[in-house]
Structure 1
Amino acid sequence: MADVLRVGVIGAGAIARGAHLVNYQKCGERVEVAAVADTVKETAEECAKRFSIPRVFTRYEEMLEKVELDAVSVCTPNKFHAPVTMAALAAGCHVLCEKPPAMTAEEAERMAQAAEKAGKILTYGFHYRHAPEVEALKRFVDAGELGEIYAARVHALRRRGIPGWGVFTNKELQGGGPLIDIGVHMLDTALYLMGYPEPEVVLGSTYQKLGNRKGVGVMGDWDWKNFSVEDMARGMIRFKNGASLILESAFAANLDPLEEMNVTLMGDEGGADLFPLKIYQEKHDTLVNITPAHLPEKGSYELEIERFVDSCLTGIPPLSTPDQGVVLQRLIHAFYQSAETGEAVKLDR
């Protein structure tokens, strides 16, 4: 294995700068960010100047052809995740692709096949898996402290949190709204803690009630006249092992908190809420709540990048796998399909 990982970044926007590049820098001499590509030349050049990146491209294909790279971060809008990732894998690069995996389940399957064919690592940017609360709860779950987890609840809700930047409200480029943007984070986290059970049936509903009209925004002013995604998604998954999960995700909803990102798990030996972490059990004829007195403070994005680098340099399997990406993308697709048809979607494999 190489001692230094040569990395290229495709897409030079906010997530590349605030999550990927800043944390590649923290890896010190283990990482060399060799190139950045963005369709907007000025964006790529400004990013390169800020992070001292020597090579700049407006076409990622040219970057992959002209620069010898070991790994790539894919930080583009969702529409381009699949083609960019598969091109990078074909060029012999390991890939960290931002969430969601793709626009469709078929794309996610092709990405998984491409990674297997190339013999390269493909992992996804589900940084919440690396959060200290998630890591602590996973240890409790793996030790059997919650027993059989048969029910879960996922919340990814904002009161008026429609992003006023980027392409988050453009269905053609994103594939959807809060479900595929923030809901996918909490859904993946819940599935990860539950052991990624095999889904059987999905029933979903989506709404566009607030995003397509002018209103107060706490994340900037959004283009409400061209708002083409849902502003709320709700639904339920039943798994083949009998467990069930209820999901609610919204960019805008008339709720009390400005934002709530949380996962609730219920098992036959205990339950838990994730943010903040509380574990609920019955011990010695007493109902008890367990809360951590201390959790590590290293950020989840920092750990995500650090562990991706470790995987690339040492061969350690990544925390998020291509197969899980396929399952997750099938669920997202099923939610939207159920909302469109008004019928439950049965998932067969």
Structure 2
Amino acid sequence: MKQFRIAIVGCGNISRMHFDAYVPHPDRIQIVAVCDTVPEHVQEIQQQYGVPQGFSSLEEMIQGAAWDVAVVCTPTHVRKQVVDTLAAAGKHIFVEKPFADSYQDAQHMVDTCQQAHVKLAVNQNFRYHYPFEMARQQVAQGKIGHVAAIVHQDLMLRQDAGWRIQQPRHALAIMGIHWFDGFRWILGDEATTLTCALNTSKAIQCTGETEAAITIQFSRGTLTSYVESFSSPRDRTETILIGDTGELVLTYEQMQLFDRDHRKTPREQWENPYRGTNKPVASFLGLDQLLTAIEQDAEPANSGRDNLKTVALLDGAYRSAETQHPVTFREGTPL
């Protein structure tokens, strides 16, 4: 197994999940450098995780340290410039989500990395942290037959701070990007139409939306209904997959299978091994997919090109809410 030298761009809160994910795997990952425009953040990370080199800019880190892959933990609105700089330096890139603020920016970054012959992957860690991968396997095996509908609720009381609350895109950019990707991942299918309505609750301090109601039609007929709330006093996150012969019910903790003979108690039940405090493991799995793709000169399942279709749903939701009209897609690409 090859060891890769990793540099982390951005030392904010989300970066700590990445450090916690990679430090237990020294045979695979050696974190050699970090950079952030706030020197105190760099110093804190170096002291806490023992990173040997710290820099105040990306350009300084490119010139001053030897490394193979960048993990980008910057705010989304500065990511395009960061990816451009990394690609020009010939660095492979693992980027936080949402990958981009717009489909146009995401397409630009994918094209830039392709032209530079570097690989680009996205940390869609909820494919594992939430039991989407478990459901994908059961659906692929025909455990519930054709999936006629997905009903998803994500309700919480969430007050963010800092740069996030200044952005015009809020709840969907933070959480919707996970769920859009999860629906695609479970079904192995792409959307054909999407409608969205947004609202902002006075209970939460932010510029963007706190509430969303979305309907998505997929090409093989699955109808998805999704509600997001950042102002709900009561937390509830649940995904119900309704199939011809059964039903899967997903929460962060577990997945349950029901059918006509088992309507009140599950026929089968699985615990999610990546739940709760095991969340960093899901990010390691994502990065390792990229590293394996580099070794094999292949495209990872979580590639930037694949993630374009997730960003298309996010971007389409905002466009539908603004125009009050459905957004249409062809093979996951917006029309």
Check the 8 A contact 1:33/1:53 in 2, yes or no.
yes
State the alpha-carbon separation in 2 of the partners of residues 308 and 293 from structure 1: 25
Match of 1:161 in 2: 158
| 1:208 equivalenced with 2:192 (yes/no) | no
Gapped regions of structure 1 (runs ≥ 5): 213-223
Give per-residue Cα distances to partners, 1:45-95, cap 9 Å, x unaligned. 211121111221121122123322211111111112222223223322222
Tell me: CA distance 1:230–1:307, structure 2 relative to 1, closer, same or farther (3 Å).
Answer: closer
- In the TM superposition, 1:67-146 aligns within 5 A as 67-131=65-129, 133-146=131-144
Match of 1:5 in 2: 4
Tell me: CA distance 1:320–1:211, structure 2 relative to 1, closer, same or farther (3 Å).
Answer: farther
How big is the shift at 1:181? Answer: 0.2
Match of 2:238 in 1: 262
Letter in 2 for 1:46: E
SS of equivalent to 1:120: coil
Check the 8 A contact 2:256/2:270 in 1, yes or no.
no
State the alpha-carbon separation in 2 of the partners of residues 294 and 246 from structure 1: 25
- In the TM superposition, 1:31-42 aligns within 5 A as 31-42=29-40
SS of equivalent to 1:169: helix
The correspondence for 1:341, drawn from 320, 323, 331, is 323
The correspondence for 1:242, drawn from 202, 221, 226, is 221
Letter in 1 for 2:40: E
Letter in 1 for 2:2: D
Tell me: CA distance 1:139–1:340, structure 2 relative to 1, closer, same or farther (3 Å).
Answer: same
Check the 8 A contact 2:11/2:41 in 1, yes or no.
yes
Match of 1:221 in 2: none
State the alpha-carbon separation in 2 of the partners of residues 64 and 245 from structure 1: 44
Task: Please identify, of 33-42 and 57-66, the stretch whose mean Cα deviation from structure 2 is larger.
Answer: 57-66
Tell me: CA distance 1:38–1:203, structure 2 relative to 1, closer, same or farther (3 Å).
Answer: same
Check the 8 A contact 1:308/1:318 in 2, yes or no.
no
SS of equivalent to 1:292: strand
Report the RMSD for the aligned CA atoms in angstroms.
2.3
How big is the shift at 1:206? Answer: 0.8
How big is the shift at 1:130? Answer: 1.7
Give per-residue Cα distances to partners, 1:33-54, cap 9 Å, x unaligned. 1111111111112111211112
The correspondence for 1:332, drawn from 298, 307, 314, is 314
SS of equivalent to 2:164: coil
Tell me: CA distance 1:155–1:132, structure 2 relative to 1, closer, same or farther (3 Å).
Answer: closer
Tell me: CA distance 1:310–1:78, structure 2 relative to 1, closer, same or farther (3 Å).
Answer: closer
Give per-residue Cα distances to partners, 1:161-213, cap 9 Å, x unaligned. 122x3322111xxx511111012212211221011x2222221111112246x
State the alpha-carbon separation in 1 of the partners of residues 45 and 328 from structure 2: 45
Tell me: CA distance 1:186–1:307, structure 2 relative to 1, closer, same or farther (3 Å).
Answer: closer
Tell me: CA distance 1:81–1:265, structure 2 relative to 1, closer, same or farther (3 Å).
Answer: farther
Match of 1:289 in 2: 266
Check the 8 A contact 2:3/2:27 in 1, yes or no.
yes
Check the 8 A contact 2:184/2:190 in 1, yes or no.
no
How big is the shift at 1:132? Answer: 7.2
How big is the shift at 1:307? Answer: 4.7
State the alpha-carbon separation in 2 of the partners of residues 317 and 279 from structure 1: 33
How big is the shift at 1:297? Answer: 5.7
Check the 8 A contact 1:186/1:262 in 2, yes or no.
no
| 1:277 equivalenced with 2:258 (yes/no) | no
How big is the shift at 1:116? Answer: 2.6
Match of 1:15 in 2: 14
How big is the shift at 1:146? Answer: 2.0
How big is the shift at 1:131? Answer: 3.1
How big is the shift at 1:321? Answer: 2.4
| TM-score in terms of structure 1 length | 0.84
Letter in 2 for 1:289: P
Tell me: CA distance 1:249–1:295, structure 2 relative to 1, closer, same or farther (3 Å).
Answer: closer
SS of equivalent to 2:195: strand
State the alpha-carbon separation in 2 of the partners of residues 56 and 201 from structure 1: 46
Tell me: CA distance 1:261–1:58, structure 2 relative to 1, closer, same or farther (3 Å).
Answer: farther
What percent identity do the matched residue pairs reach?
22
SS of equivalent to 1:64: helix
